[in-house]
Chain A
Amino acid sequence: AAGVIQSPRHLIKEKRETATLKCYPIPRHDTVYWYQQGPGQDPQFLISFYEKMQSDKGSIPDRFSAQQFSDYHSELNMSSLELGDSALYFCASSFRGRAETQYFGPGTRLLVL
């Protein structure tokens, strides 16, 4: 079965650079969630989208923005990167009708030097 796809899988950036992470949900899933997992930490919810509209907002820094496109894929844009942004970024998707179950992608590991 198709799973959530994230790209790139690994990313190395310098401080103050920008990064764009992409997420392709499971087919027919209309809701996307973004999480950040720091080293040794539990995942922290950043933001979610349902039907291309922001549905919930968590601890997403103002330097970050995200959107969901007409094909339901989502992009997380990160600007003015800081060392502390180094983390594993997960995308999850769900179908609104069964929104309680989120299926996670493999994550993008971002390293800021």
Chain B
Amino acid sequence: AQSVTQLGSHVSVSEGALVLLRCNYSSSVPPYLFWYVQYPNQGLQLLLKYTTGATLVKGINGFEAEFKKSETSFHLTKPSAHMSDAAEYFCAVTSDSNYQLIWGAGTKLIIKP
């Protein structure tokens, strides 16, 4: 079985500060990992994904995430937060054996001016 844990339902950072959103997963098979972003009253937009290959993946809007198998983590980072980054971020996992996305509970990112 697969599961995803996102630490912190809300994360607040100042504009220009580092953004770090934590995601840990459990999977008995090699995972595919995703970060999706959901802006208020909008759909889910794929931010980045890890399937195979390079463990540091870069996504849109300056975000990146690193797959660390030993830590079963896929934390999302951005060096400098912008006001426009305020949204809810979902980490999700799937695999070759089951394409059903398993979601974390989401982390709401709040940007302070």
Interfacial residues, chain A to chain B (CB-CB below 8 A) = 31, 33, 35, 41-45, 48, 55-56, 58, 90, 92, 94, 99-107
Contact residue among A42, A48, A101 (Cβ-Cβ distance under 8 Å from B90): A42
Residues on B with C-beta less than 8 A from A106 are 42-43
Contact residue among A41, A102, A107 (Cβ-Cβ distance under 8 Å from B101): A102
Give Cα A43 to B102, complex, Å.
9
Interfacial residues, chain B to chain A (CB-CB below 8 A) = 32, 34, 36, 42-46, 49, 51, 90, 94-96, 98-106
Cβ-closest chain B residue relative to A50: B99
Q: Top 3 A-B pairs ranked by shortest CB distance?
A: A106-B43, A42-B103, A104-B44
Closest Cβ of chain B to A92, distance in Å, is 8
Residues on B with C-beta less than 8 A from A107 are 42-44
Kindly list 8 other residue pairs between chains A and B, CB separation below 8 angstroms, not including A45-B100, A100-B95: A45-B101, A90-B43, A100-B32, A100-B51, A101-B32, A104-B36, A104-B46, A107-B42
Main secondary structure on chain A at its contact with chain B?
Answer: strand
Residues on A with C-beta less than 8 A from B95 are 100
A-B residue pairs in contact (CB < 8 Å), sample of 12: A33-B99, A35-B101, A48-B99, A55-B99, A99-B99, A100-B95, A101-B32, A101-B34, A104-B36, A104-B44, A107-B42, A107-B43
Give Cα A104 to B103, complex, Å.
14
Residues on B with C-beta less than 8 A from A48 are 99-100
Select the residue from A33, A100, A105 with max chain B CB neighbours within 10 A: A100
Closest Cβ of chain B to A2, distance in Å, is 15
Closest Cβ of chain A to B10, distance in Å, is 11
